[in-house]
Amino acid sequence: MEFDPRRFGVKTIDAVVYAVSLTGVVFVVTALLSTLAGNGLPGAKWLMFFLGFAMFGYASLKVRPKAAWKGGDENSDNDGGLFSGSDEPVGVEKLVGNALDAILPPRLRPANSDERPSSGGKLLLASVCILAASYAMEVVFGINY
Q: Could you tell me the residue ranges of all domains in the chain?
A: 1-65+117-144
Cβ neighbours of residue 114 closer than 8 Å, sequence gap 6 or more: 77
Report pLDDT digits (tens) over 47-78.
999 999 999 999 999 888 877 777 655 555 44
Rounded CA-CA distance 10/110 in Å is 6
Q: Give the closest residue to 45 by CA, choosing from 119, 114, 125, 138.
A: 138
Residue 84, pLDDT score: 41
Between residues 42 and 7, the one the model is more confident about: 42
Residue 138, pLDDT score: 94
Residue 31, pLDDT score: 96
Between residues 99 and 124, the one the model is more confident about: 124
Considering the entire predicted model, what is its pTM?
0.79
